[in-house]
Structure 1
Amino acid sequence: MKPAFRLSVIAAALSCTIATPVGAQDAAAPTAEQSLAEMRAQLAALAARIDQLEGELAQEKAANAAQDASIAANTEAVAKPTPAPTPAVAQLEKKDGWSFKPRGRLMYDAGFTSVPESTGREDGFASEVRRARLGASGGLGGGFEYKFELDFAGNEVEAADAYLSYGNGPLEVIVGHHNNFQSLEELTSSLHTSFIERAAFTDAFGFERRIGASVSYSQGIVLAQAGVFTDNFDDTGTNNRGIDGRLVVMPKMGDTQLHFGGSLHFNELGEDAGSVRYRQRPLVHFTSERFVNTGNLAADSEFGAGLEAAMISGPFHAAVEGFWQNVDMPAMPDSPTFFGGYAEVGYFLTKGDTRGYKDGKFDRTKPASAVGEGGIGSIQLNLRYDYLDLNDAGIIGGVQNGYLASLVWKPTDYTLFSLNYGKMDYDDAAYATATGDTSYTVDAFGVRAQVDF
């Protein structure tokens, strides 16, 4: 209690005492000294009571202040949750260069094919889980990194990338199961291709990941890659032995990215293999029909050569590739050389979007205005002519001319929806119509929903 308040209380008490009427006192009233002593005693008692009240008031204020502080602290804790403890992985990454990054992708395809009825081949609606991958990648310290992915699509478990790498400046060494530098189209991730399936020659000529060791050197605009490879994880019994190399030049002219490359490939077939077969589906993967097919060819080795070129300029891109596959067939007077290639153009209909490019291949498109950020994502239109010729040196495997279109919508960086149409014109097709005609058209339509992380 403040001193001024205490004085006012005492003054009030004195005034009440002094104001007591003299007439109220009887003859037996105490003397003046006794009255003064009594007043002093009353004042002392009043002061003691005031001190007691002041102490109780101070305690109450302290209790209220503590309660207010507790409420404020709890409110702040609710508004801003306490951060979770840093995972051990992050601590390892900071201390020793270790890291762990989960990764995966899911692609669901559906659509239909339309085939001349008299060929007797299946068509109509079909769907499939095209890819369902889970894996991880990260660092091991000292410049070493790893990547491992398994694909669970098709009721089978297959290895995708599964390798250990070491990087030192412009040099990278990879040991394990990985791509062997066949072409721009093959090396571009399935997440970033402009159609739901790659160009026909990549599948027809058996491009796939294989177990091996490779070296890549990237400095400025030059990328050089070479490696030795054996078999795919699923075919280790064939004892293939291959050598692959690729050279890419990646200059820029202003904002335009250019790409020029070439590759060479040699594959010696193992004694347990001794044959090859080249064939291809009509654009979509969910059909098992192949209208171009060489059948099994007895062979000792394969030699391939490819050329590739591309450009990206703002919303526009273009790409063209050609690949020649020669097969050494000792029983034949001449070894056949088959050819495949494509030419495509693409254009983004949404403002500010462009196709990604990195390390000698197409990369992720990142919408300039994604859904959830005030935009609709990116929308891209692509047109492609796709050619595959499996006729040569007496081998009649058929010719496929594909006229393809796709519309790709990416709402966000990691989601994609794609519409694809292909009109495939065949000559010397593997299946004849009821009238014996082997030149006809097959239509294919496919849609894809895709997500990755």
Structure 2
Amino acid sequence: MTSLMLRGSCAALALIAATPALAQTPSADELAALVKAQAAEIASLKARLDKIEGQAVAQAAAPGPAPQVAQQQATPPLVVTPFAPQIVPPGPADIDVGQARAIAREVGVKTEWGAGLPVFRSADGVFTYKPRGRILVDVSSTMGSDYKGRNTTTTGMRALRLGLEGGVGPHFFYQFESDFSENEVDIVTAFLGWRNRLSGKVDYDIRVGHLFNDRAFEGSTGSDSTPFLERSTVSTAIIPQRGFYGIGIMGRMFGPNWHASVSVTGDRIDGQQATNDSRTASFRAHWNPIKTDRSLLHVGAWGFDEALSAAATSLTRSTVIGGRFNGAVRVSTGELLGGRSTTGYGAELGGYSGSLWVMGEAGRRVARLTGDRPNFESKAWSVSTGFFLTGELPPYNPRLGSFGQPNVLRPTFDGGPGAIELTARYENLDYTDLVLGGDGWAATVGVNWYLNSFTRLQLNGIHWRTDNRAGAFTGSDDGQTVSARVGVTF
């Protein structure tokens, strides 16, 4: 506008210079006429300028492609996707190196609310940290047994955990959790790890510390993600003598539709160093030969070999068959002493199509005994299934070949119905290779109601049968157990 006004003033001056009479001795009337003419020209130029500016504003407000300069400066938002859309996105200790690098490229301090608790990230993207927790409250009631001591109602905390996980840069990560469910401190997961990529499609991680087994489908699934209140007999009976945890090292490799792990571990955290630890070498692998947006086939195999410590030669085992919180409903081996080593192995076959999933597992454990006594063999198998009435896909994690927490489509806290899942399972356990060994089976039906992705209610009805040859409850016996759980994971 200023340039146009200057042009108007110059034109007026030029008009004065071009009129010699006016330039020499202009009269008052002539000067007034000139000023009036100049003002009119300036007003005309201003009107034209206002019209041009109005058109520019209208064009800027109208929808259309952004200017080329803006397109060059714009930065697309970072989206860190989960390994599968039907499960809750993994935390800092479970993401792959590609996701960790993407997070490290973010700028600015961030606090993001995930499944229940926030994830904190430093301004340079180097440090990540997330609190962890798990509260699982159970009640169980058994009836119908021929033994009064088995017809009990009990309560318990399946898990009461607090912990943390995090990472430094794209490669280093850690996780720590303690459990208080038995009214005492029990360290469960506690490890340091390193991850990297071998190629565009294959990555790996290495973990050192107190490690959770990668063994069997339900045995590799966390207690907060199992579709039933208790894992199947394959996971609870075909197991190293030390249990689900051991201190050692584990390497894992991941491809587009498979994973494999190898570990060497000693005993659990126990504070006793007077004798050698037992040594357990184990492996597990899974493969998804069919994998689409709404269907998947799972094939898995696993095994372990265990050299027993001199302090762990007792192989006596009593395995729950009617739920975790009735200790009287078990299948027993009878007293079994003098173990030298054990070897276990198993297979997994299942998958899902739409909201329906099916999984079959079988396992066998061979215990080698001292002296000339023959080996003792334990055998277990199970078939389970589930269906989501509300349309969710089963919470299968294709990276690990196990179940995770479901991504609920319409949480109850947002006015939706949550996710409702119907489940059923048959499981069998056989210790009869021993003279005093028993056997048993259980059939379970259940319903899971996920209020959101980290809060759920579970109800299981179990019909069980045992035939023990030793212990307080011998002979054939059957009954029913009803169990319920309220669970929160964050």
TM-score scaled to structure 1, two decimals? 0.75
Are the structure 2 counterparts of residues 236 and 432 from structure 1 closer, same or farther at C-alpha, using a change threshold of 3 Å? closer
Q: Pairwise mapping of residues 1-150 of structure 1 onto structure 2 (< 5 A)?
A: 93-95=122-124, 97-114=126-143, 116-117=145-146, 119=147, 121-141=149-169, 143-150=171-178
Deviation digits for residues 208-259 of structure 1, max 9, x if unmatched? Answer: 1111101111112221110101011137556111110112112334331111
Equivalent residue number for residue 178 of structure 1: 211
SS of the aligned residue for 1:121 comes to: helix
Equivalent residue number for residue 248 of structure 1: 286
Q: Which moved more, 1:420-429 or 1:147-156?
A: 420-429
Deviation of 1:130 (Å): 1.5
Q: Which moved more, 1:405-414 or 1:362-371?
A: 362-371
User: Which of 262, 265, 275 is the equivalent residue of 2:301?
Assistant: 262
* 1:334 and 2:358 correspond: no
Is the 2:322–2:330 contact (alpha carbons within 8 Å) kept by the matching residues of 1?
no
Is the 2:363–2:381 contact (alpha carbons within 8 Å) kept by the matching residues of 1?
yes
SS of the aligned residue for 1:95 comes to: coil
Q: Which has the larger radius of gyration?
A: 1
- Give the % identical residues: 26
Counterpart of 2:157, as a letter, is V
Deviation digits for residues 407-429 of structure 1, max 9, x if unmatched? Answer: 00001111000001111112235
* 1:230 and 2:266 correspond: yes
Unaligned runs of 5+ in 1: 1-84
SS of the aligned residue for 2:149 comes to: coil
Partner Cα separation in structure 2 for residue 175 and residue 347 of structure 1: 37
Deviation of 1:287 (Å): 2.0
Q: Which moved more, 1:348-357 or 1:103-112?
A: 348-357
Partner Cα separation in structure 2 for residue 346 and residue 203 of structure 1: 21
Is the 1:318–1:343 contact (alpha carbons within 8 Å) kept by the matching residues of 2?
yes
Partner Cα separation in structure 1 for residue 440 and residue 416 of structure 2: 40
Equivalent residue number for residue 440 of structure 1: 477
Partner Cα separation in structure 1 for residue 407 and residue 125 of structure 2: 32
SS of the aligned residue for 1:133 comes to: strand
Partner Cα separation in structure 2 for residue 313 and residue 139 of structure 1: 35
Deviation of 1:141 (Å): 2.5
User: Any runs of at least 4 consecutive aligned residues in structure 1 with deviations exceeding 4 A, and if so which?
Assistant: 85-92, 235-238
User: Which of 430, 439, 450 is the equivalent residue of 1:410?
Assistant: 450
* 1:195 and 2:223 correspond: no
Deviation of 1:406 (Å): 1.0
Are the structure 2 counterparts of residues 362 and 163 from structure 1 closer, same or farther at C-alpha, using a change threshold of 3 Å? same
Is the 1:275–1:300 contact (alpha carbons within 8 Å) kept by the matching residues of 2?
no
* 1:297 and 2:332 correspond: no
User: Which of 161, 183, 191 is the equivalent residue of 1:163?
Assistant: 191
SS of the aligned residue for 1:297 comes to: coil
Equivalent residue number for residue 415 of structure 2: 374
Deviation of 1:138 (Å): 0.6
Counterpart of 1:314, as a letter, is G
Partner Cα separation in structure 2 for residue 201 and residue 312 of structure 1: 20
Counterpart of 1:100, as a letter, is Y
Equivalent residue number for residue 286 of structure 1: 325
Are the structure 2 counterparts of residues 432 and 127 from structure 1 closer, same or farther at C-alpha, using a change threshold of 3 Å? closer
Equivalent residue number for residue 422 of structure 1: 462
User: Which of 363, 371, 390 is the equivalent residue of 2:431?
Assistant: 390
Q: Which moved more, 1:376-385 or 1:106-115?
A: 106-115
Equivalent residue number for residue 55 of structure 2: none
SS of the aligned residue for 1:150 comes to: strand
Q: Where is the helix percentage greater, Structure 1 or Structure 2?
A: 1
The aligned length equals 364
* 1:319 and 2:347 correspond: no
Counterpart of 1:210, as a letter, is G
* 1:350 and 2:390 correspond: yes
User: Which of 242, 246, 257 is the equivalent residue of 1:221?
Assistant: 257
Partner Cα separation in structure 2 for residue 101 and residue 115 of structure 1: 46
Deviation of 1:355 (Å): 2.9
Is the 1:115–1:121 contact (alpha carbons within 8 Å) kept by the matching residues of 2?
no
Partner Cα separation in structure 2 for residue 106 and residue 366 of structure 1: 19
Deviation of 1:400 (Å): 1.0
Is the 1:370–1:411 contact (alpha carbons within 8 Å) kept by the matching residues of 2?
yes
Is the 1:111–1:126 contact (alpha carbons within 8 Å) kept by the matching residues of 2?
yes
Partner Cα separation in structure 2 for residue 251 and residue 236 of structure 1: 45
Deviation digits for residues 274-314 of structure 1, max 9, x if unmatched? Answer: 22122212332222224311133321000001101220211
Partner Cα separation in structure 1 for residue 120 and residue 449 of structure 2: 38
Are the structure 2 counterparts of residues 269 and 115 from structure 1 closer, same or farther at C-alpha, using a change threshold of 3 Å? farther
Partner Cα separation in structure 2 for residue 312 and residue 374 of structure 1: 28
SS of the aligned residue for 2:444 comes to: strand
Is the 1:431–1:438 contact (alpha carbons within 8 Å) kept by the matching residues of 2?
no
SS of the aligned residue for 1:201 comes to: helix
Partner Cα separation in structure 2 for residue 196 and residue 234 of structure 1: 27
Is the 2:159–2:180 contact (alpha carbons within 8 Å) kept by the matching residues of 1?
yes
Is the 2:120–2:130 contact (alpha carbons within 8 Å) kept by the matching residues of 1?
no
Partner Cα separation in structure 2 for residue 107 and residue 333 of structure 1: 43
Is the 1:432–1:438 contact (alpha carbons within 8 Å) kept by the matching residues of 2?
no
Are the structure 2 counterparts of residues 347 and 429 from structure 1 closer, same or farther at C-alpha, using a change threshold of 3 Å? farther
SS of the aligned residue for 1:275 comes to: coil
Q: Which moved more, 1:334-343 or 1:246-255?
A: 246-255
